[in-house]
Amino acid sequence: MEDKNYIGNLIKGLRESKGISQSKLCRGLCDRAVLVRIESGRCTPQKLLVDALFQRLGFSINKFGISYTMAEYKVVFLRRNILESLLLEEYDKTLDLLGQYEKVIGNTSKNVLLEQFCCVVKIVYAITQDVSSEDVIDLIHKGLRKTFTQFKVDDMLDYLLHDEEIMLIILLAESLYAQGKRSESINILFNLIEYIEKNVLDDEELVRLYPKIALLLAEKLVDENRFAELYICDRAINILIKESRITYLAELLNIQLNYALNGEDNDYTRNKKFYYSVIQVLEELIGNIEKSGAEKILIPAPISHGHVIGSQIRALRKILGITQEDLSDICDPLTVSRIEGGRKPTDRHYEELMTSMGREGIRYYPFIKSNDYELHVLRRDFGRHMESYDFEGAGKVLLLLERKLNQPEAINKQFILRSRSLLEACKGEITQEALIERLLEALRITAPINETPHRISKERRSQLTEEELINCLEGWPLTQTETVIWNNIGNAKGKLGESQEKIRILSIVKENYEKDTVGLYNNLKGYLLTCYNLANEQGRIGDYMESLKTSEDGIRYCLSAGEGFSLTGLLAVKAECLVNIRESKKDCKKILLQSFLLAKLLKKKDIHEWIKILYYEIFEQDIENEYYFISC
């Protein structure tokens, strides 16, 4: 029988590899018996519990997608809106949303993760209302006691922590600092840094946590003139650059340049003008506003690719042109209607409904199927090598994946076929036409199907034409891999001179995400990739107004998420549009300089070289000699 317990097996494997007991991992989160059932595949855990377990293990959950129940999505959506309103200092709205959130808690059994989140929000709000630090510290300890009955700061390195616990500890450090207990506060933050360096082994988790805490600590070290300990800034900056993230980068660079150099001869001292120009660019792009206390404290939650179950089933059913009655061999039409309306299905009903339409019938679905977490990391590493044009490195990673993955599994087969084809095309070993055919073959592996008469059967799926697949695309709840494949197909079409076809395909993908806010927020990288490829092609054929609109859509989401990788290219596309729309070189000069500086900082060589050429064509000047005059 096919093993579908990927999430349980991964939790168990990671826990055992780190020598952590079940009792220690689930301490305060759930009963040990619940964890036993999760690891053995006898229950499907709630999203927030899975996030917390992975956070305590030090790994990112976003190697997996999730099909949310409506109740789970409401909770996730409310949390996101509460944090957003808090960061914007819209406190009346925050309290109103928090009241809605507490009603959700009231309708569920006791859930410490929901309650602890409420504690964090109320504490941050209390700080903004000038509640005494003694009272705030009392609230913090109450919050920590929800998962640790006897929390002791000195024992922090012996604990396993999830996001809300980390935020409460940060709030404790901030409150102690406000009380004048500065050494105690700094020691807590140093312990937290040490905890992260010891326990957080995944780059995607590290970039979420380390820079924020390093910045809070660095600001206090500057206040105390403890400049020799500011080595944490350089570490945080390198983490952000490696992951192409720009959140907190300007602040950390400012501290590094002004306080942490200590007369040393290093990259920062040799390139001060460059780094100061980068700071200016980041402040202008993100908005040079004083950060609120709340914004300095809260940590962004992890995001998993996903869709809401009811919407997912309805979308697949409509793509296939089948009725609720056509699914009556699985459950009666009324049950299907209720599921599509938001009722949580049983695991059996969900699996059978999804499988009947040719999709993966598990709520936590991997992008490759393996119980070895390292293979999920290798999958990401393959993409990084390809992005940096390191085809030799990509080939080595792909060989490892081909040897270790169970290739008969549909999504493994799809991933390997797409990756091998793209690598061979980039090396010039196959034509763009051959690449498109192979990518279409990869899409057919997971295309929606239905086994009822006159519908798309498994036998028929292998014969689906390109146009039939495109016709299915509108409303298709795409996986992360499928999004990338459609972008690859679009890019190959563009290279063959089929610009309109590329634009048609990518426009549908972009619209899919914009109609489905779950898909957009939970696969932001896929959306940004689509925006960049689409805007680039729209500009290339002279449709500058549409290109400008698409690039600005992408830029807005890049800045809100602190995502630097796509931002550099989108800014360059926008600049090129402006010079063509307004016929004014001045309008695009600053944006090109911004894009160039970020591409240089983030080591995006292809974007960096493209902007150099573009800048010379427009201004007949070498951009390398100009970037530090960006404020002119």
**150 vs 455, which has greater pLDDT?**
150
CB neighbours of residue 632 within 10 Å: 8
d(CA 381, CA 376): 9
Per-residue model confidence (pLDDT) at position 288: 40
Name the CA dihedral angle for 473, 476, 477, 481, rounded to a multiple of 10 degrees: -30
CA-closest candidate to residue 496, choices 466, 475, 469, 524: 466
Decide: helix, strand or coil at residue 68: strand
**Does the structural domain 71-297 have CATH classification 1.25.40.10?**
yes
Q: Where are the domains of the chain?
A: 71-297, 523-632
User: What mean pLDDT do residues 411-418 have?
Assistant: 94
Residue 567, pLDDT > 80, answer: yes
- Higher model confidence: residue 623 or residue 300? 623
DSSP class of 625: G
Two tokens at 449? 């199907």
Task: Say how far apart CA 394 and CA 420 lie, in whole Å.
Answer: 10
**DSSP-derived secondary structure letter, 121:** H
Q: Give 178's Cβ-side CA count (13 Å radius).
A: 17
> How much is the pLDDT for 291?
42
Mean pLDDT of 411-428: 95
pLDDT at 321: 84
Task: Report the range of poorest mean pLDDT among 277-291, 360-374, 539-553.
Answer: 277-291
| 185, two tokens | 């506060």
The whole-number pLDDT of residue 71 equals: 85
Rounded distance between C-alpha atoms, residue 171 and residue 174, angstroms: 5
CA triple 241-565-260, angle to 5 deg: 20
Segment among 292-306, 372-386, 525-539 with least mean pLDDT? 292-306
Average pLDDT over residues 22-45: 93
Radius of gyration of the chain (CA): 25
pLDDT digit string, tens, across residues 111-126: 888 889 999 999 999 9
Q: Would you say the CATH fold of 523-632 matches that of 71-297?
A: yes
Separation between Cα atoms, residue 416 and residue 379, nearest integer Å: 10
Given a cut of 80, is residue 194 above it in pLDDT?
yes
User: Which of 293-302, 351-360, 424-433 is the least confident region?
Assistant: 293-302
Helix (H) or strand (E) holding 500: helix 499-515
Phi (first) and psi of residue 67, to 5 degrees: -95, 105
Position 258 pLDDT exceeds 90 = yes
Alpha carbon distances (Å) from 1 to 4, 5, 329, 363: 9, 12, 22, 18
pLDDT-based confidence at 395, cuts 50/70/90? very high
Residue 171: name the closest of 195, 143, 199 by CA: 143
pLDDT at 301 (0 to 100): 66
Residue 189 CB contacts under 8 Å (≥ 6 apart), including other chains: 170, 173, 213, 216, 217, 220
Average of per-residue pLDDT across 155-161: 92
- Tokens representing residue 44 in the block: 């499907």
> Smallest Cα–Cα separation from 252: which of 278, 239, 226, 234?
234
Q: Once rounded to an integer, what is the mean pLDDT over residues 536-562? A: 93
CA distances from 542 to 511, 546, 581 (A): 21, 9, 10
Report the top-level CATH class of 523-632: mainly alpha
- Of the candidate ranges 119-123, 442-446, 605-609, the one whose mean pLDDT is the lowest: 605-609
| Rounded mean pLDDT, 206-225 | 95
Question: Average of pLDDT values for 225-249?
Answer: 94
Q: Decide if pLDDT at 312 tops 70.
A: yes
Q: In degrees rounded to 5, what are phi and psi of residue 444? A: -60, -25
